[in-house]
Amino acid sequence: QVQLVESGGGSVQAGGSLKLSCVASGFGTCRWGMSWYRQAPGKERDFVSSINTFGRTNYTDSVKGRFTVSQDNTKNTLYLQMNNLKPEDTAMYYCRTNSRRCADVEYSSPHYWGQGTQVTVSP
């Protein structure tokens, strides 16, 4: 069973930085593509960034140039480096699994979610 645990959230002032981590268990020998999502109070959960099984990254426009997604497959850990944070980045941040690649074969998989980590940015 895949389990994801996020950490690294906190409260910072605008312009500050945070680095989120998402540690996965249950991945076996496969490489997993993963995403970060965020959800502000009263709003829907929105896509932030992703990294696929080949290491290709993608970002929503509002975080381009400020956030960097990366993955350490030896540690089964996903990261999100967030710089120049803005009050509108305030949200609960979640990691999610996407497809997996095992022995060079790509498989679709159920989406697994972590429990989230809170990021609060004050003006």
pLDDT digits (tens, 9 = 90+) for 87-122: 999 999 999 999 899 988 888 888 999 999 999 999
pLDDT at 109: 87
pLDDT at 54: 93
Distance CA 38, CA 97 (A): 14
pLDDT digits (tens, 9 = 90+) for 11-68: 999 999 999 999 999 888 889 999 999 999 999 999 999 999 999 999 999 999 999 9
pLDDT at 68: 98
Query: Could you please report the per-residue DSSP string of 26-37?
Result: S-TT-EEEEEEE
